[in-house]
Amino acid sequence: MKVLCVGPMWRGSNAGGLFRAMNRQGCYIDVVDEFYYISLKTQTKKNKILERFIRPLQIDEFNKAIKAKIEVFKPDVLFIYKGAFVQPQTIDFGVQHNAVPVLFFPDVSLTNHGTNIPACLPKYERIFTTKTFGITDLETMFNVKTARFIPHGYDPDIHRKLNVTEEDRSIYGCEVSFIGAWSLKKEQWLSYLKAQLPNVHLRIWGGMWHRSNSANLKDSIMGRIIEGDLYSLAIQCSTVNLGILSEVVQGASSGDKITSRTFHIPGANGFMLHERNEESVQYFVEDVECGFFDGEKELVEKVSFYLAHPEKREAIKNAGHERTCKENSLDARALVVMADMRQLIKTK
């Protein structure tokens, strides 16, 4: 099976991890990486303004590159990861060249990432969503009935045990960490934690945390994103890794129930304290493979408890790592995706 993968390949990218997993499991793949064509990491205000003028040209070049690759590679499947910049006519081009169009959508909202995603949704023969509520949202909002749930997984190339040095611990070490983008809920919960445990050594890594207005988090916000090996390093250097989930946003019927960190943290052999809900508890046995909490007050209680009980914490960490390695790798997810795509090819 030849699969043309469209999405980012930077080290630590969930998309790139899944593409490599499909390749390890027997697919021939080629990749069109949107980061080669579209400037998505610009930081300065001047460059952001300039981007508004050149972005349509970048998107056009990106879609031309996909079409050119389709003509040369002749894929059985056109596999789009998220697809914010993939235009409807590019999907049509793939279908005209006998490629089955498939979307892997990893986010909460179907409408918060521009107009291309909603326009392309009816054209896909299969949509994999990492949100159980995504299946209902797709049908309710777009009358799409081709969706299938598949959770994120950990990437064995990235989320793995590392040899941590004392220098590493001086940079990344802490008692409690949260790694992820800012949201109001996350800020409020972390601010409450810090207010109740003012002496706890807390580090916060991720984007958009300049939006935080909580004075007591100022010293904890590291002010940058960490990716790849540094991401796994930070997980292992933190005594307790928090899994605080995103709240409801426009274009979604629910906030997160699980996320990629649900599997990244134990995959990297970190102790995870995860928000409890009906889905998260399906993947780990509470107090055996993972710590769980519900709301701000229990978050404080569980952080205090696990910091005070290193032997129990270590046992849970190791059990969680073992189960994640057995059941929740991107290779395991790739096998499910590939089996489904083979069936779509047969029925084409």
Instruction: Give per-residue pLDDT as tens, 40-78.
Output: 777 777 777 787 888 899 999 999 999 999 999 999 999
Q: What is the pLDDT of residue 289?
A: 98
Q: What is the pLDDT of residue 59?
A: 95
Asked if the domains at 2-152+329-346 and 166-327 fall in one CATH topology, the answer is yes
Q: Does domain 166-327 have CATH number 3.40.50.2000?
A: yes
Q: What is the pLDDT of residue 247?
A: 93
Tell me, letter by letter, the H, E, C secondary structure of the chain.
Answer: CEEEEECCCCCCCHHHHHHHHHHHCCCEEEEECHHHCCCCCCCCHHHHHHHHHHHHHHHHHHHHHHHHHHHHHCCCEEEEECCCCCCHHHHHHHHHCCCEEEEEECCCCCCCCCCHHHHHHHHCCEEEECCHHHHHHHHHHHCCCCEEECCCCECCCCCCCCCCCHHHHHHHCEEEEEECCCCHHHHHHHHHHHHHCCCCCEEEECCCHHHCCCHHHCCCECCCCCCHHHHHHHHHHEEEEEECCCCCCCCCCCCCCCCCHHHHHHHCCCCEEEECCCCHHHCCCECCCEEEECHHHHHHHHHHHHHHCHHHHHHHHHHHHHHHHHHCEHHHHHHHHHHHHHHHHHCC
Q: What is the pLDDT of residue 348?
A: 78
Q: What is the pLDDT of residue 62?
A: 97
Below-70 pLDDT ranges, the chain: none
Q: Where are the domains of the chain?
A: 2-152+329-346, 166-327
Q: What is the pLDDT of residue 113?
A: 87
Q: What is the pLDDT of residue 215?
A: 97
Q: What is the pLDDT of residue 10?
A: 95
Q: What is the pLDDT of residue 50?
A: 81
Q: What is the pLDDT of residue 60?
A: 97
Q: What is the pLDDT of residue 260?
A: 97
Q: Give the fold, CATH level 3, of 2-152+329-346.
A: Rossmann fold (3.40.50)
